[in-house]
Chain A
Amino acid sequence: MAIPLIDAPVPDSVRATAPKLKRNGKSAKDPAVVILTTIVCAILLLIIGFPLYGLLTSAFAPKGLEVLARMVTDPVNHRIIANTLLLGLIVGTTGTLVGFLFAYAQVKVKFRGKRALHLLAMIPIVAPPFAVATAVITLFGRNGAITNGIFGWQADIYGLPGLTIVLSLSFFPVAYMNIRGMLESLDPSLDEAAAGLGASKLRVFFTVTIPMLVPGLAGSFLLLFVESIADLANPLVLGGDYTVLASRAYLAVTGEFNMQAGAAYSLTLMLPALLVFLVQRYWVSRKSVVSITGKPAGATEQISAPSIRIPVLVIVGFLAALIVSIYATVLAGGFLKVPGVNNELTLAHYQFVLAGLGSKAMVDTTILALIAAPIAGLLGMLIGWLVVRKLKRASGLIDFIGMLGLAIPGTVLGIGYLITYNKPVNIFGLQVFPALAGGSAILAGAVAIVMVYIARSLPSGQRAAVSALQQIHPAIEEASTSLGADSATTFRKVTLPLIQSALLTGLTFAFARSMTTLSPIVFLTTPGIKIMTSQILAEVDSGRFGNAFAYCTVLIGIVLLVILLLNVIIRKVVFRGQSHRR
């Protein structure tokens, strides 16, 4: 299932002829815009603003300050911070490298099976966080099917080595898509120009291709850095003694019941994440020299020289085989009694997940994700539209807050929710709404989970909407206004149909991300609501890998099925007869 990540394609006929044309005086007095902006701000405040505020006040409460002080003084904490940053640096580097190799092979190297390789690189996006970790333990752990079963080792993959492998393989698709997009839009005439000036292929690669890619590589590194320091699932399963800030914060909240300490650890984790996000957003993106013209940059010359082709293909092939074996293990593991140890076939795990005690998690998660996805998708489109077209000064701020759901580690967000919404929210002594998270919350905390889903999955749709809108000439919307439509009507009847690809991207990612997110969720599940990812964590914790694999497979299946249905529905029903594709 190919998922468009960055740019939703826009038909040529609506491409802006002058996208740099900045309209300064957007008409401001439109009541619809004022109302929509107010709604968006209120939602952003609820899903991101309040929880962050709650976290900050908690971290700076006396008990939290104590922990924060110990961040500076206590060597144990130094170790944890160092571990976290080291993990981010290593995974950022290896993940970017893997992503680059896949992208380079895909765009530049001649071989058969490109589509298969592309799909393979996309799988991790729809897979839940434990799939890779659990499979790696089963294959390469102490009693691993390969390490012990074939080679007879007692391999210790817990700690940094295991985390590096698992996180790199889980997160590299982001780098892959980023770098692939850049490689594809590199104008081949630049290579030709360099070659025409007498540069050898290798020289062209190092003096033209790589420098052009530096912003893309740096951006990918930073994104992977943030993702890996924020990850909670894998350090919990694979970390062993290697404690990072995310797992430390989790322990503080769930093991020590010390909310303020959890908040303090989270805050420490948030600082580098936010810093890197800011650098990525305001520095790296500005350094980009690759211009996306929207015109196909001409046929890229495919490299067939063995000196480049063979090493690239060997490494990529090895990694691809690794990924295949990992997901094959996930798929097969669900049918084995004790995967890797007792390989008798059984349907018990699937029965547990689909029909037994575990099925509630499947139903609950899917329903909540189905509620969150359309809200997040539409909200993303709306924010994109307001930011690109309607707002002047506030646009940067709203765009930034919308993107925070991606920049703030899930652990941080989860703890923030727990602190803020575990009791009724009062403003000036008036109860505005009841408790949304925790044991006593309404609907068993489902509201908070949906909110956190929206916060986490909003940014991808928002990004897609912004880049799609920047390619659509503003005159098309002005024409609608000139013909008597107000802003809301224009958005519904003109803008939304034109950015339907971006909407599809937004919905797809919102659903996939909601289904697979764990780090904020572990703090928010209650006995009344079961979420698949946190159930998987429980199963892995108690060593029932078979159940975990069955959950993972079912989860991947649901995500793929819903994405497929979304494609069909959006393309065939919602904008029926309005297709503008050639």
Chain B
Amino acid sequence: MDNLTAADPTPITADASEFAPALESGQVTLSALTKRYGNRVDDPIAVDSVDLDIRAGEFVTLLGPSGCGKTSTLRMIAGFETPTSGHVTVDGTDMVSVPPNKRPMSMVFQSYALFPHLSVRQNVAYGLRLKKTSEKRLREEVDTALTIMNLMPYAERAPHQLSGGQQQRVALARALVMRPKVLLFDEPLSNLDAKLRVQMRNEIRRLQKRLGITSIFVTHDQDEAMTLSDRIVVMNQGRIEQIDVPEQVYRHPSSIFVADFIGRANFLDATLLVDPVDGRARAFALGLEREVATHPDVSLEGEVLLMVRPESVILTPNPAADSVHGEVGRVLSAIFHGESVEYEVETDTGSIVALVSDPAANEIFEPMDTVSVGIKADRGWLLPVHAES
């Protein structure tokens, strides 16, 4: 790239309400959506009977590791892949028989996919021109889109003369100008550098909130999913593991897979003492009997694990294995991250990762230090070992 790659100083600011769709339009439903590549029954299933209701104006993220079926799902919604079975409907209309170019959706691609032989303006105008829009109207619409995305100064440039962030903005303008009912994003930020990625995702979120366009966003980056979404759909091996708001997905993951994939997690051996009532129960873990929130599948019959996020672990000096501080451990390693320090602590229950944010200089432990290990109140989550999503 050229010298324009540096962080973009021009956020998306102009009034964007122009492109807001009619209220309550853009409701997407997936029912038993299945994709099997190849024709034989034993061919691997990419997407396995996915059901999903997306409200009009909602921002939903499909999150999962590569090969989990999130991109295949998005491409079936867009029409680039034909489902093996199942349905995609938008506002009640079945889309499966509608060719991709006739669907009321626009897609923003990972590689931006700008037309390299057309200028920025021509790129944005491309779709409207196909709709036989009058020249005057076309010019107005394109100007509005370019203004919203702060691209007016670059309108006559060729795509390769823009920085990555600007290219992605052109891609977004090109999609918005079509006034789609649904915006589809296929990992659109993964080609940007870290700072720009954060900036662009904030802008996308702001713009989407203002316009209220239903958006489906595919990513493997949990940070992106957390910050952008109204709801996150976590996928694994073609199936949906969990659908919930970001906080629930993070704090109360439905399975060990989700807990492990989103953020980092300690899984501690635990013993359930009584059957849960209203999603809470008493359990013995990390040297203490404590009350914890529990997964609905938890019962006295099965084995359980206590999930604790590293930032919920409390380390205290002056070891005193008492009823408050739980177990005693030994610091194995301490890694200074800047805003936090990451410790690995060995205890009788096993090795635990702790993340202590913004510690004072004299409060940082050294390897071989002895500490007592506790958990912040109400941060544990009791999971069945064999959790079914």
- Residues of A participating in the B interface, judged by any CB pair closer than 8 Å: 11-14, 17, 23-25, 27-30, 473, 475-476, 478-486, 489, 493-494, 497-498, 575, 578-580, 582
Q: Which listed residue (B116, B126, B186) contacts A14, Cβ 8 A? A: B116
* Given known contacts A30-B99, A483-B127, A25 and B113 CB-to-CB distance under 8 angstroms: no
Q: How far is the CA of A29 from the CA of B81 in the complex (A)?
A: 11
Using a CB-CB cutoff of 8 Å, which residues 85-127 of chain B contact chain A?
97, 99-102, 105-107, 109-111, 113-118, 126-127
Name the contact of B107 in the complex, choosing from A11, A482, A578 (C-beta under 8 A). Answer: A482
Cα of A480 to Cα of B106 in the assembled complex, Å: 10
A13 lies within 8 A of B81 (CB): no
Cβ of A389 to closest chain B Cβ, rounded Å: 12
Please state if B107 and A479 are interface contacts (CB–CB under 8 Å): yes
Known: A478-B107, A481-B100, A484-B130. A25 touches B81 (CB 8 A): yes
**Would you call A478 and B81 a contact (CB within 8 A)?**
no
Instruction: Report chain B residues within 8 Å CB of A483.
Output: 101, 106, 126-127, 130, 174-175, 178
Quick check: B160 and A27 within 8 Å, CB to CB? no
Q: Which of A25, A28, A485, A498 contacts B117 (CB 8 A)?
A: A498
Query: Given A25-B35, A27-B82, A476-B113, A482–B100 Cβ distance below 8 Å?
Result: yes
Interface pair A25/B82, CB less than 8 Å apart = yes
**Nearest CB on B from A19, distance (A):** 12
CA distance A580 to B115 in the complex (A): 9
B159 interface hit (Cβ, 8 Å): yes
User: In the assembled complex, which residues on chain A have CB atoms less than 8 Å from the CB atom of B336?
Assistant: none
Q: Tell me which residues across on chain B come within 8 A of A493, comparing CB atoms.
A: 126
List residues of B whose CB falls within 8 A of some A CB: 35, 37-38, 75, 78-82, 97, 99-102, 105-107, 109-111, 113-118, 126-127, 130-131, 158-160, 171, 174-175, 178, 184, 186, 191
Q: Known contacts being A27-B82, A489-B130, is A484 close to B113, with CB within 8 Å?
A: no
| CB neighbours of B100 from chain A (8 A) | 27, 478, 481-482
- Asked if B118 and A482 sit within 8 Å, CB to CB, the answer is no
Query: A575 to chain B: which residues have CB within 8 Å?
Result: 117
Residues of A within 8 A of B175 (CB): 482-483
* In contact, A486 and B99 (Cβ under 8 angstroms): yes
> Apart from A27-B79, A483-B130, what 18 extra A-B contacts exist at CB < 8 Å?
A13-B159, A14-B116, A25-B82, A29-B99, A473-B111, A475-B109, A475-B186, A476-B114, A478-B80, A479-B113, A482-B100, A482-B107, A484-B178, A485-B101, A485-B126, A493-B126, A494-B117, A497-B117
Q: How far is the CB of A473 from chain B (nearest CB, A)?
A: 5
Which of B37, B117, B130 has the most chain A CB atoms inside 10 A of its CB? B117
Whether B117 contacts A480 by the Cβ 8 Å rule is no
Please determine whether A479 and B109 come into contact, CB atoms closer than 8 angstroms. yes
Do the beta carbons of A580 and B113 come within 8 Å of each other?
no
Residue numbers in B under 8 Å from A475 (CB-CB): 109-111, 113, 186
User: 25 interchain pairs (CB within 8 A)?
Assistant: A11-B160, A13-B159, A13-B160, A25-B35, A28-B82, A29-B99, A473-B113, A478-B78, A478-B109, A478-B113, A479-B109, A480-B126, A481-B100, A482-B105, A483-B101, A484-B101, A484-B130, A485-B101, A485-B126, A486-B101, A493-B126, A497-B117, A498-B117, A578-B117, A579-B117
* B82–A580 CB distance below 8 A: no
CB pair B101–A481 under 8 Å, yes or no, is yes
Distance of A476 from chain B, by nearest CB (Å)? 5
Closest-CB distance, B102 to chain A (whole angstroms): 7
The chain B residue with its CB closest to the CB of A490 is B101
- Chain B residues in 8 Å Cβ range of A482: 78, 100-101, 105-107, 175, 184
Are the C-beta atoms of B81 and A27 separated by less than 8 Å?
yes
- For residue A13, which residue of chain B has the nearest CB? B160
Residue among A17, A480, A498 making CB contact with B116, cutoff 8 Å: A498
Q: How far is the CA of A11 from the CA of B118 in the complex (A)?
A: 13
Instruction: Indicate if the CB atoms of B106 and A29 lie closer than 8 Å.
Output: no
| Chain A nearest CB, measured from B226 CB (Å) | 26
- Measured CA separation A493–B125 after assembly (Å): 13
Q: Is A485 a contact partner of B130 (Cβ separation < 8 A)?
A: yes
- Asked whether A580 and B116 contact (CB < 8 A) given A25-B35, A27-B79, A29-B82, the answer is yes
Contacts of A579 in B (CB 8 A): 117
Say whether A481 contacts B127, CB under 8 Å.
no
Q: B72 → chain A, closest Cβ, in Å?
A: 8
A27 to B35, CA, bound (A): 13
Q: How far is the CB of B318 from chain A (nearest CB, A)?
A: 55
Query: In the complex, which residues of chain A have a beta carbon less than 8 angstroms from the beta carbon of B110?
Result: 475
Q: Chain A residues near B186 (CB, 8 Å)?
A: 475
Please pick, from B101, B118, B159, the residue contacting A578 in the complex, using a CB distance under 8 A: B118
Does the CB pair B99–A27 fall under 8 Å? yes
Instruction: Report which of B78, B81, B82, B115 forms a contact with A480, defined as CB distance below 8 A.
Output: B115
Determine the chain B residues whose CB is within 8 A of the CB of A24 once the complex forms: 37-38
What 9 pairs between A and B have smallest CB-CB spacing?
A: A483-B127, A475-B113, A479-B113, A13-B160, A25-B81, A482-B107, A578-B117, A580-B117, A475-B109
Interface centre among A23, A473, A478, A489, by most chain B C-beta atoms within 10 angstroms, is A478
Q: How far is the CA of A475 from the CA of B71 in the complex (A)?
A: 13
- Is A17 in contact with B160, judged by CB distance below 8 angstroms? no
Residue of B nearest to A500 (CB): B117
How many whole Å from A109's CB to the nearest CB in chain B?
36
Minimum CB–CB distance from A578 to chain B (whole Å) comes to 4
Q: Which residues of chain A have C-beta atoms less than 8 A from B130's C-beta? A: 483-485, 489
A158 and B366 CA atoms in complex are apart in Å by: 92
Nearest Cβ distance between residue A20 and chain B, in whole angstroms? 14
Across-interface contacts of B101 in A (CB, < 8 A): 481-486
Q: How far is the CA of A480 from the CA of B129 in the complex (A)?
A: 12
A428 to chain B, nearest CB (A): 35
A306 to chain B, nearest CB (A): 44
